[in-house]
Structure 1
Amino acid sequence: MASAAKRAPAKKADAKPGTNPTTPKPVEFNKQQELDAYRAMLLIRRFEEKAGQLYGMGFIGGFCHLYIGQEAVVTGLKMSLIEGDQMITGYRDHGHMLAMDMSARGVMAELTGRKGGLSKGKGGSMHMFSKEKHFYGGHGIVGAQVSLGTGLAFANKYRKNNNVALAFFGDGAANQGQVYESFNMAALWKLPVIYVIENNRYAMGTAVSRSSAETDFSHRGISFKIPGIQVDGMDVRAVKAAADLATEWCRSGKGPIILEMLTYRYRGHSMSDPAKYRTKEEVQKMRSEHDPIEQVKARLFEKKWASEEELKEIDKEVRDIVADAVDFAQTDPEPDASELWTDITL
Structure 2
Amino acid sequence: MNEEICLPVTTLKNHKITREQILILYEDMVLGRNFEDMCAQMYYRGKMFGFVHLYNGQEAVATGVIKALEKNDYVCSTYRDHVHALSKGVPSKYIMAELFGKETGCSKGRGGSMHIFSSEYNFLGGFAFIAEGIPVATGAAFQSVYRKQILFAKEKLQVTAAFFGDGTTNNGQFFECLNMAVLWKLPILFIVENNQWAIGMAHHRSTSKPEIHKKAEAFGMPGVEVDGMDVLAVKQVTEKAIDRARSGEGPTLIEALTYRFRGHSLADPDELRASTEKEAWISRDPILRLRNYIIENKIDSQQSLDAIQDKVKQNVSEAIDFALSSSEPSVEDLRKYLFVD
Q: Under a length normalisation based on structure 1, what TM-score does the superposition of the two structures give?
A: 0.90
Aligned with 1:150 (options 101, 114, 138): 138
Alignment of 1:251 with 2:283, yes or no, is no
Aligned with 2:182 (options 159, 174, 187): 187
Alignment of 1:344 with 2:338, yes or no, is yes
Whether the 8 Å contact between 2:96 and 2:105 is mirrored in structure 1 is: yes
Aligned with 2:319 (options 305, 325, 331): 325
Matches of 1:297 and 1:179 in 2, distance apart? 35
In the TM superposition, what is the alpha-carbon distance from 1:342 to its structure 2 partner? 1.3
Alignment of 1:83 with 2:77, yes or no, is no
Matches of 1:309 and 1:341 in 2, distance apart? 50
SS at match of 2:89: coil
In the TM superposition, what is the alpha-carbon distance from 1:28 to its structure 2 partner? 4.6
Alignment of 1:197 with 2:192, yes or no, is yes
Say what the alpha-carbon RMSD is for the aligned residues.
Answer: 1.5
Q: Which residue of 1 aligns with 2:26?
A: 38
Once the two structures are superposed, what CA deviation does each residue of 1:156-188 show, in whole Å capped at 9, x if it has no partner?
011115111111110011111111111111111
Q: Which residue of 1 aligns with 2:147?
A: 159
Alignment of 1:67 with 2:55, yes or no, is yes
Q: How does 1:102-141 map to 2 (within 5 A)?
A: 102-141=90-129
Once the two structures are superposed, what CA deviation does each residue of 1:287-317 show, in whole Å capped at 9, x if it has no partner?
22x1111111111211223333222211111
- Kindly provide the amino acid, as one letter, of the partner of residue 48 in structure 1: E
SS at match of 2:120: coil
The change in CA–CA distance for 1:262 and 1:211 in structure 2 (over 3 A counts) is same
Once the two structures are superposed, what CA deviation does each residue of 1:222-262 show, in whole Å capped at 9, x if it has no partner?
22212110011110110111111100111121111100011
SS at match of 1:97: helix
SS at match of 2:304: helix
Whether the 8 Å contact between 2:66 and 2:87 is mirrored in structure 1 is: yes
The change in CA–CA distance for 1:153 and 1:43 in structure 2 (over 3 A counts) is same
Alignment of 1:241 with 2:233, yes or no, is no
Q: Which residue of 1 aligns with 2:152?
A: none
Q: Which residue of 2 aligns with 1:213?
A: 208
- Kindly provide the amino acid, as one letter, of the partner of residue 72 in structure 1: A
- Kindly provide the amino acid, as one letter, of the partner of residue 82 in structure 1: E
Alignment of 1:169 with 2:169, yes or no, is no
% identical aligned pairs? 42
Once the two structures are superposed, what CA deviation does each residue of 1:27-78 show, in whole Å capped at 9, x if it has no partner?
3543222211111100000000000111111111001000100001111112
In the TM superposition, what is the alpha-carbon distance from 1:130 to its structure 2 partner? 0.9
Whether the 8 Å contact between 2:67 and 2:87 is mirrored in structure 1 is: no
Q: Point out where structure 1 has 5 or more consecutive residues left out of the alignment.
A: 1-22
Alignment of 1:313 with 2:307, yes or no, is yes
In the TM superposition, what is the alpha-carbon distance from 1:277 to its structure 2 partner? 1.7
In the TM superposition, what is the alpha-carbon distance from 1:25 to its structure 2 partner? 4.9
- Kindly provide the amino acid, as one letter, of the partner of residue 178 in structure 1: Q
Once the two structures are superposed, what CA deviation does each residue of 1:187-231 show, in whole Å capped at 9, x if it has no partner?
111111110000000011211110011111101222221211001
- Kindly provide the amino acid, as one letter, of the partner of residue 41 in structure 2: Q
Q: Which residue of 1 aligns with 2:8?
A: none
Matches of 1:196 and 1:25 in 2, distance apart? 22
The change in CA–CA distance for 1:151 and 1:112 in structure 2 (over 3 A counts) is same
Whether the 8 Å contact between 2:58 and 2:228 is mirrored in structure 1 is: yes
In the TM superposition, what is the alpha-carbon distance from 1:24 to its structure 2 partner? 6.7
- Kindly provide the amino acid, as one letter, of the partner of residue 324 in structure 2: Q
Work out the number of aligned pairs and report it.
Answer: 323
Q: Which residue of 2 aligns with 1:18?
A: none
SS at match of 2:75: strand
Larger Cα Rg: Structure 1 or Structure 2?
Answer: 1
Matches of 2:243 and 2:336 in 1, distance apart? 40
Whether the 8 Å contact between 2:67 and 2:88 is mirrored in structure 1 is: no
In the TM superposition, what is the alpha-carbon distance from 1:280 to its structure 2 partner? 2.0
- Kindly provide the amino acid, as one letter, of the partner of residue 317 in structure 1: K
Q: How does 1:21-36 map to 2 (within 5 A)?
A: 25=13, 27-36=15-24
Matches of 2:137 and 2:39 in 1, distance apart? 27
Q: Which residue of 2 aligns with 1:16?
A: none
Q: Which residue of 2 aligns with 1:294?
A: 288
